[in-house]
Amino acid sequence: MTDLDLQIANTIRGLSMDAVQAANSGHPGMPLGMADVATVLWTRFLRYDPTDPAWPDRDRFVLSGGHGSMLLYSMLYLTGQALTLDDLKSFRQWGSKCAGHPEHGEAPGIETTTGPLGQGFANAVGMAVAEEWLRARFGEGLVNHWTYMTCGDGDLMEGVCAEAASFAGHQKLGRLICLWDDNKITIDGSTELSISEDVGARFAAYGWHVQSVDGHDRAAIAAAIAAARDVTDRPSMIACRTKIGFGSPNKEGKSSSHGAPLGVDEVRATKVRLGLNPDEHFAVPDAVVAGIRAKDNERQVLREAWEARVADSPKGAELRSFLSGKLDVDAVAFPVHAAGSSLATRKSSEAALQAAAAAIPNLIGGSADLSESNLTQIKGASAFQPDSRTGRNLAFGIREHAMAAICNGLVLHGGVRPYCATFLIFHDYMRPSVRLSALMHQPVVYVYTHDSVWVGEDGPTHQPIETLQAMRLIPNLRVIRPADGNEANEAWRLALAHDTGPTALAFTRQNLTTLDRAVYPPAASIAKGAYVLRDVANPAVVLIGTGSEVHVALEAAEKLAAEGIAARVVNMACCELFDEQDAAYKLAVLPRGVPRVSVEAGTTRGWERYVGLDGASVGIDRFGASAPGKTVVEKLGVNVPNVVATARRVIGSGVIG
């Protein structure tokens, strides 16, 4: 190691202290402590090209402890990839590329959005899976890179991290290397307050290769990374014993350096101790920039050589197609379900998935140990395992949260389009990862089956009541609940064609009758979110149904017709898509002056947005019960008589909607 390495590490420390102090907000402790690790990794191992930060065969770097974002921002600036010094000076300010936690899409080089602890760790696992899958398909000449991440004590305490680490160990992801900031400090103080396990032994039990080093000994760090790279049959954990707030005379090794600025006086004292000029702010020696960027030409040559190999390879065009992220959804031959046939939408979803998988070779995914119930296995394909790297079925195990976070990593890596599945009720186990899919605009497809109290005998623990509406609250998440098999096809079509955000598909366990499209508008009408399914002249009431309750609304409309009451039925398959339509279309579907009644086997809260404050909703505002599904639905009032009675009531009250 050279004096330049020390200069680089201390420059990172100076930039991090100054940015946090200028913002009067942030986490200086981690960047101060991990600067030596970052210096070694970025200057000696990490493969990238600053002239093309999105180069597909670059090494991936994930800062899982996103609170230490100034470490990443400093490196991106020093390596010339994305950020300017002015960007660093605007740390945590409105519109800044340097947000409080790294956000994907704000600047090249930020591989993923890391905020909630453990998420980045699990994302990195997904990236490593994608690299293994693509390398097995295209060969090392076209796909040959590593996934590195840093994490902290907080990451390793989170359940999502444990789930992902277990999965990674089982999968023997040998190109995944984690550099643990082992500083034994969290916000509340020493980790001894809350954890006493041997973390290294835990990871060894997961099947990881584990080393421990002095996190400020740059030569030892380099040797450990080199050793980790030599172990190709296991992911690697390197415990880097560091001092949080390194260099701070009064806060080094203390929790007070974790989540608050050091203070003007302490910044000065720390700079003096590190040999930096205390009167300079955001100082970057020319020698540091020149030293880091000295090999940029070699980096560019590596990338250009890869480009040439792709151009010359018979598989190059397919790889480019995969990496584009665009899917040829028009090539999918979705099955056609005959009018009057009876099929659960989870079953029609299975048929749609098989058709999609046949036409889209980089569609991969799986279930949280529920593939037999979710019906999400790709038939004829093997499972992705250490001895079967081209397998398209991912056995996530009972790890819903890591499953979703791993899928985020898969799609962020590029080259594959992932889906994952579980029962709708277990969405809450994975909600933070789904939220991050939406925040990052990543097109993960979430398949949820057993979507209502029709689950029946499993009882209220397995019957989602509030879940659909809770999902609809997540910005940029489309929630689609189809009413029959042909709409399930269209739901999949929409999900696969949508490349700027995630889609949640909600499917039934119980059979639904396939609607006769000679009578009703085509199933493709759900592309606008909601459409008029059954129309009448001068409707007295509008019934709005979703999923299985569309059939309840249709039957109720027939009953009302027999009483001389004209009822329009609207299928609200996707509220988010309907909200995107122009005002004229919305009014054509939900006209003013006509009372409205919503029908959904879930909470009624939220439906006032569409029925009006004076409208009415038929739904379930309590937990379910253990009994046959049909009995539960009837007892809880999601039935034709209740819809008919509710429609009569809103008409009689003079509601104008």
Look at the pTM and tell me if it is higher than 0.75. yes
Q: What is the DSSP letter of 515?
A: P
| Amino acid 460: pLDDT | 98
Q: Is the pLDDT of residue 522 over 70?
A: yes
Collapsing DSSP to helix, strand or coil, 248 comes out as coil
Q: Tokens in use for 293?
A: 């960027």
The amino acid at residue 494 is L
| Amino acid 656: pLDDT | 45
Q: Is the pLDDT of residue 1 over 90?
A: no
Residue-by-residue DSSP string for 342-389: EEEHHHHHHHHHHHHHHH-TTEEEEESS-HHHHT---TT-PBPBTTBT
Q: For 438-467, write each residue's pLDDT tens digit.
A: 999 999 999 999 999 999 999 999 999 999
Q: What is the DSSP letter of 593?
A: T
Just list the catalytic residues: 400
CATH 3.10.180.10 fits 3-298, yes or no: no
Beta bridge partners of 448: 422, 506
CATH class of the domain comprising 529-652:
alpha beta
Per CATH, 329-513 and 529-652 having the same topology is answered yes
The rounded distance, in Å, linking the Cα atoms of 391 and 152 is 32
| Amino acid 260: pLDDT | 97
Q: Please give the average per-residue pLDDT across 234-257, as a whole number.
A: 98
Q: How far is CA 653 from CA 371, 568, 647, 650, in A?
A: 48, 18, 10, 5
* Sign (positive or negative) of CA dihedral 319, 321, 327, 333: negative
| Amino acid 655: pLDDT | 46
| Amino acid 42: pLDDT | 98
Contact assessment for residue 617 and residue 604, using Cβ atoms and an 8 Å cutoff: yes
Neighbouring residues of 349: CB distance < 8 A, sequence distance ≥ 6: 375, 376, 447, 449, 488, 491, 492, 505, 507
Q: Tokens in use for 253?
A: 């090794």
Neighbouring residues of 610: CB distance < 8 A, sequence distance ≥ 6: 544, 572, 575, 590, 596, 598
Contact assessment for residue 121 and residue 155, using Cβ atoms and an 8 Å cutoff: yes
Pairing of strands 511-513, 342-344: antiparallel
Q: With pLDDT > 70 as the criterion, what percentage of the chain qualifies? A: 99
Nearest Cα to 14, choosing from 294, 288, 241? 288
Chain-centroid distance of CA 474 in Å reads 12
| Amino acid 653: pLDDT | 72
| Amino acid 657: pLDDT | 41
Res. 140 pLDDT band, cuts 50 70 90: very high
In CATH terms, 329-513 corresponds, of 1.20.140.70, 3.40.30.10, 3.40.50.920, 3.40.50.970, to: 3.40.50.970
Q: For 7-63, write each residue's pLDDT tens digit.
A: 999 999 999 999 999 999 999 999 999 999 999 999 999 999 999 999 999 999 999
Domain ranges in the chain?
Answer: 3-298, 329-513, 529-652
Q: Tokens in use for 519?
A: 């009578």
Q: Tokens in use for 127?
A: 């990236």
Q: Please give the average per-residue pLDDT across 531-538, as a whole number.
A: 97
Q: What share of the chain is helix, strand, coil (3-state, %, to 5)?
A: 45, 15, 40
| Amino acid 284: pLDDT | 98
C-alpha distance across the termini of the chain, in Å: 73
Q: Tokens in use for 537?
A: 């002249």
Please count the other Cβ atoms lying within 10 Å of the Cβ belonging to residue 89. 17
Output Rg (C-alpha) for the chain, integer angstroms. 28
Pairing of strands 530-534, 567-572: antiparallel
The rounded distance, in Å, linking the Cα atoms of 324 and 217 is 41
Q: What are phi and psi of 447, to 5 degrees?
A: -105, 120
The pLDDT mean for the chain works out to 97
Q: Please give the average per-residue pLDDT across 487-516, as a whole number.
A: 98
Beta bridge partners of 41: none
The rounded distance, in Å, linking the Cα atoms of 632 and 512 is 17
The rounded distance, in Å, linking the Cα atoms of 99 and 66 is 10
Q: For 280-293, write each residue's pLDDT tens digit.
A: 999 999 999 999 99
Q: What are phi and psi of 181, to 5 degrees?
A: -75, 85
Q: Is the pLDDT of residue 434 over 50?
A: yes
Nearest Cα to 236, choosing from 150, 159, 157, 160? 150
Tally the residues of the chain. 657
Q: Is the pLDDT of residue 612 over 80?
A: yes
Q: For 295-318, write each residue's pLDDT tens digit.
A: 999 999 999 999 999 999 999 999
Q: Please give the average per-residue pLDDT across 409-435, as a whole number.
A: 98
